[in-house]
Amino acid sequence: PALVDGCSYEDLTISNGEMASGAWVRMAQEMAFEKKKRINKQLLEYCHLDTHGMIMIFSKMRGLGSGCYSLGG
């Protein structure tokens, strides 16, 4: 995610949401187990970084808020 220092997709095979969507379709249609396994690993790497980035963005935004909402914490 662009808003979080240290998070970059440039070293990943799947580096954006459009690529992730396409990879998901390819994995679903692929018959060879090893290819499915490789695509799955690439998707997990992308999703891990994407989720981590979203958590970091949320944390920063939460710190900027005025307390107008509560997330139970």
**DSSP codes, 21-33:** HHHHHHHHH---H
pLDDT tier, 67 (very low <50, low <70, confident <90, very high otherwise)? low
pTM for the full model?
A: 0.74
**Closest residue by Cα to residue 50 from 73, 70, 4, 32:** 4
The pLDDT assigned to 20 comes to: 96
Average pLDDT, the chain: 84
**pLDDT > 70: percent of the chain:** 79
Span 24-46, pLDDT tens digits: 999 999 999 999 999 999 999 99
- Two tokens, residue 17: 């949401």
Residue 35 or 69, more confident: 35
